[in-house]
Structure formats: C-alpha cells, structure tokens
Amino acid sequence: MSDVSDDGAPGWEAIDAACERAHPGIEPMHWGTIMRWRLGGDDPLDGTSAYPIDGPEPHWHYVSYGLSELYEKESDNLEESGWGFELTFRLARTGDEVPMWPLSLLQNIARYVFNSGNWFEPGHHIDLNGPIALDEDTELVALVMAEDPELGTIDTPNGRVVFVQCVGITADELEVVRQWDAAKFLTAVGERTPLLVTDPARPSYLEDPAFAAIVRSGVSDDGSSMASLVVPSLGFEEVAGELVVRIAANAIDPLLAAVPGRLSHGRTLDLESDDVKLRLEPGEPAWRVDEDFAVVSLPPASIAELDDGLRPAAGTYRLASLPGVVFEVS
C-alpha cells in the first residue's frame, strides 16, 4: 500500500483499495512528488506506484495518483472525482529492476491534461511525435487508451474514477485506429495480450497477416468511429467568394487517413483547434461559415481526390471537384 502523509486522503485510499483487490498481497514500488502542482511544482501527479506482476504476462503495472481528487472534494461535480480518471500503464517485465521512464511518460500526459484542459477516456489516442521512450529501441510512437482490464472504474468518496490504461502502438497501428475503431482494434490486440501489456521491443501487429486481415475487414465494413480530429493549427476565412482553409502540414496525413472511414460511410468529421471547428460532411459540393464554425460538403469525387490533391507540404491546394474551397497548408 502507498504511504500517504496527509490526514484525510479518501481518494488516495480508494485507489489503494482498488489496487489491493487487483493485486492482493503484492507490495508496489512508489514514487511521490516533492512539490505538488497546486503548490507550484512541475509534476501534476502526486505519486505513481508500480506493481511487479507475474503469470502468463509478466509486467510492471504503473498506477497514477493525482488526476482525481485525492484529498478533500474541491470541484462542484459530485459525480466525478477531479478529472474523472487516473492513468495506468503496463510494461513488459524483463528483470527485477523497475524502469523509470514510464513515470515521466505518465507525468507528461498529466501535464498535458492540466495545461490544455483536455482529458482522456477509453477510445482516445495520442501521437507522441517520437518514440515512447527515448532510450529504447522501439517502433512505438503513440498511445491508445483503454479502460484498465483489472482496475476498471471505481466509486470514491469524491466521485467516480476511471482507470485509463495507456497502450503503446506503432505509427501504422495509429493510422488503423484513426481509420477504424479504437475499441475494436484493442479487442484484436487483446487476443495477443489480454492485459494490453506494452512491449517496446515488439514489431507492428500489422506484420502478422492474420491481424492485418482482421483490420482490413473491419475498416471496410465499419468505417471510422472517430468523429473529431484535434489538429495543431486551423483557421478559415471567406476571401473573394471562396473559403480559404488554413491548416498545419502535420495535420494532413491524419486527415487523409480519417476522411474515407467517415464520409464514405455517411458520417461527418470535425477538425478542431482551440475554439475553431471545421466540419467535413458528405454531400453536394458546398460550404458555409458561421463565425468560428465552418462546414464543407464533399461529394464522392472529392473524397477520392483528396489523397492526390492535398499533400502534407506547404502550399496552396484546390480540388477540381470542390470549387470555391482553397486549402492553404503551412
């Protein structure tokens, strides 16, 4: 059990109790934060525990403390504790020494939440823009979120807490998640690792022909469940009777991966950045603007033309099948 120095930490104690139920009799390693975030410290998490797990899938099970309300109830939301979740991570265990880099990984994710106001829940994903661990020889460059298969969701005196497990994935697997459905992708992964253990040394699951066949079938049959895509930079304005869409170059590949699975199945796709939203929808070529919200309707020809007509490089792009819309990529 974790050592809590503060008097009255019902949220912390609830997390401890959940971990004890999942791992009875297993003593974790625990790291606390010297100065808490709310007191001016750099680390949002007050602590992280790591449990050594044996069995068919030996691994370290990391659990965060700090995204929920660990001490007194402070928020007005009585149903959820703090942000409503804590992070977990399962790392394949190759020895008795617990790796430290997942502590930084979880702190960085928590720091993003505290700074941006964006939270995570099962089904979300994030591109890390680099390897999951700088000192590891790994192809894993992104995370997809699942409900922790053992800790699940708990009720605490301060409200509900979902344990959101971060699962490391490769760049081509991230593209699949965008094209398909995170939950269904993780169901396929679960056939190989029921506890969704991250192994930095593994190759892409898509190198397995059987796994790749499941994915291709799912993408074709189901389309994409990803209704929105957060992009780093987005803007638009009406210029001389045309809609000029300004978008960052590093958003183009995710956009191209997501569009067919949404619009070709009759669904919309929202691009979001700060307070700006651009909705792409299937239909006859048209566009409209309402302050910080724009809608562009794309016919099937435009959906097909996007792959060749829009590139992840700075420039101005037009689609022959979508008159009146200009994409400025920077």
DSSP output for 191-241:
TT-TT--B-TT---GGGSHHHHHHHHHHHHHH-----EEE-S-EEEEEETT
Domain assignment of residue 4, yes or no: no
Do residue 162 and residue 26 come from a single domain?
yes
CA separation for the pair 280, 204 (Å, rounded): 31
- pLDDT for 35: 73
DSSP state, 296?
A: E
Instruction: Give pTM, 2 decimals.
Output: 0.81
Do residue 208 and residue 304 come from a single domain?
no
Whether the CB-CB separation of 245 and 325 falls below 8 Å is answered with: yes
Largest CA distance in the chain: 70
Whether the CB-CB separation of 51 and 61 falls below 8 Å is answered with: yes
First to last CA, the chain: 51
Residue labelled with tokens 């790392």: 91
Q: In the beta sheet, which residues pair with residue 160?
A: 80, 155
Do residue 215 and residue 246 come from a single domain?
no
Do residue 164 and residue 305 come from a single domain?
no
Do residue 147 and residue 282 come from a single domain?
no
CA separation for the pair 84, 77 (Å, rounded): 10
- pLDDT for 60: 98
User: Three-state SS for 79?
Assistant: coil
- pLDDT for 5: 43
Do residue 194 and residue 321 come from a single domain?
no
Do residue 180 and residue 305 come from a single domain?
no
The token pair that represents 268 in the structure block: 């919309």
Q: 209 lies in which domain range?
A: 10-222
pLDDT in tens, the chain (330 residues): 444 444 589 999 999 999 999 999 999 999 998 777 777 778 999 999 999 999 999 999 999 999 999 999 999 999 999 999 999 999 999 888 999 999 999 999 999 999 988 899 999 999 999 999 988 899 999 999 999 999 999 999 999 999 999 999 999 999 999 889 999 999 999 999 999 999 999 999 999 999 999 999 998 899 888 888 888 889 999 999 999 999 999 999 889 988 988 999 999 999 998 888 999 999 999 999 988 899 999 999 999 999 889 999 999 999 999 999 999 999
Whether the CB-CB separation of 90 and 61 falls below 8 Å is answered with: yes
Do residue 49 and residue 119 come from a single domain?
yes
Do residue 171 and residue 293 come from a single domain?
no
DSSP state, 320?
A: T
**Total domains, the chain:** 2
Which of 152, 156, 176, 177 lies closest to 165 in space, CA to CA?
152
- pLDDT for 33: 85
Domain assignment of residue 262, yes or no: yes
The token pair that represents 192 in the structure block: 């190989």
